Structure 1
Amino acid sequence: MADTEGLSLSWQPIRAFVSDSGDMAWDYGKGKLTSPDGLVQDVKYVVVWHRIDGEWKIVMDMFSPNAG
């Protein structure tokens, strides 16, 4: 597992969806990952949510660097 101490992530959702049943959702967007030494990497992300007992919980959270 990568060392994430000192990393900063900011994100901007592009679109979000909720299942017809209302208990699953997902969103995707773009963001910036900044390392402790100031290096900034543009990224894209997706997050999957599941509502359990009325609370939204993250099931999966993934991001990857943009090509280039």
Structure 2
Amino acid sequence: MTESEGINEKMQAEVQAIHNLDMQWAEMVESKNASGMAALYTANALWLPPNDVQTSGTEAIQNFYTRLFQTPNLSLVHTTTKIAVSQSGEMAVEVGAYNISMDTPQGTFKDTGKYMFLLSKLDGEWRIAADIFNSDAPLM
């Protein structure tokens, strides 16, 4: 894998394409577009949320975002800290941090954590093949 700093032009173009995918992700959050969000994932993408079971596929991912986007006063932002692209340019890993807040029946929920996307290039487009995220809050 090649880190996003000090890489050749071809790899820099791949990193930029992944940043473009991140901008689409943010647009889907802003517009609360669950089907658009699911379209950013591969058809059999792995979904690895904290404190829940592993699932896969865009239908499960769309269902998650449909529920999340109905939450009042949702704010969800992720910040990329590292992108590594394989030498073949077909796979990549993105690591970053997220901040989320929303209103719940129990009050305002806020969390900060980290995420990792495993990305796959399909038909010339980057898509999220696996998504794992977890909180920085102590377990106990």
- State whether TM-score is above 0.5: yes
Q: Which has the larger radius of gyration?
A: 2
- What are structure 2's unaligned runs of at least 5 residues? 1-51, 53-63
In structure 2, the residue matched to 1:31 is 98
User: 1:19-68 CA deviation, whole Å, 9 max, x = no partner?
Assistant: 00000011111111212343210111001110011011110111100033
The one-letter amino acid of 1:27's match is E
In structure 2, the residue matched to 1:11 is 78
How many angstroms apart in 1 are the aligned matches of 2:77 and 2:115? 11
Identity of aligned residues (%): 29
More helix by share: 2
List 4+ stretches of structure 1 deviating above 6 A.
none
> Counterpart of 1:39 in 2: which secondary structure?
strand
RMSD between aligned alpha carbons?
A: 1.9
How many angstroms apart in 1 are the aligned matches of 2:91 and 2:75? 27
Pairing partner for 2:131 from 43, 50, 61: 61
More strand by share: 1
Shifted more, 31-40 versus 55-64: the winner is 31-40
Structure 1 residue 43 corresponds to structure 2 residue 113: yes
Structure 1 residue 21 corresponds to structure 2 residue 91: no
- What are structure 1's unaligned runs of at least 5 residues? none
